[in-house]
Amino acid sequence: MTDSNRMPLVTAHPRGSMLSVTVVPRAGKSSLERLADGTLRVRVAAPPVDGAANDALLRLLAQALGLSRSRLTISSGASSRRKRIFVEDVSPDVLARSLDSALGNRV
């Protein structure tokens, strides 16, 4: 995939930020990882049945970012592995630093 086809990980939104993720349901263990191409892959143990994987995704992201679950919403891709998550009242810079911290990267 070329850089022009790849969605940026974090983008601005008038009321916060958007986060692009790729979700792997039914994983052995829930975790976050940044791939070599910069994509954020989120593994969740929950199956993609009745919204369980989406709920597990939002809970895991909220915990990793130190935010309330109510501040995260799936804005697109609810039935897809590739999703965009709206993060309310968090600037892109703050979200990027929080992600780096959650992934164990020093800023």
Domain ranges of the chain: 10-102
Cα(22)–Cα(42) distance, rounded to whole angstroms?
6
Average pLDDT, the chain: 91
Specify the pLDDT at position 14. Answer: 97
Q: What span, in angstroms and rounded, lies between the C-alpha atoms of 86 and 83?
A: 10
How many angstroms separate the first and last alpha carbons of the chain? 27
CA nearest 95: which of 13, 26, 1, 2?
13
DSSP state of 107: -
Summarize pLDDT for 11-32 with one digit per residue, the tens.
999 999 999 999 999 999 999 9
- Rama region for 9: left / alpha / beta (φ>0; ψ in -120 to 50; rest): alpha
* pLDDT band at residue 7 using 50, 70 and 90 as cut-offs: low
Picking from 33, 20, 26, the residue whose alpha carbon sits closest to that of residue 83 is: 20
Thinking of the domain 10-102, which architecture would CATH place it in? 2-Layer Sandwich (3.30)
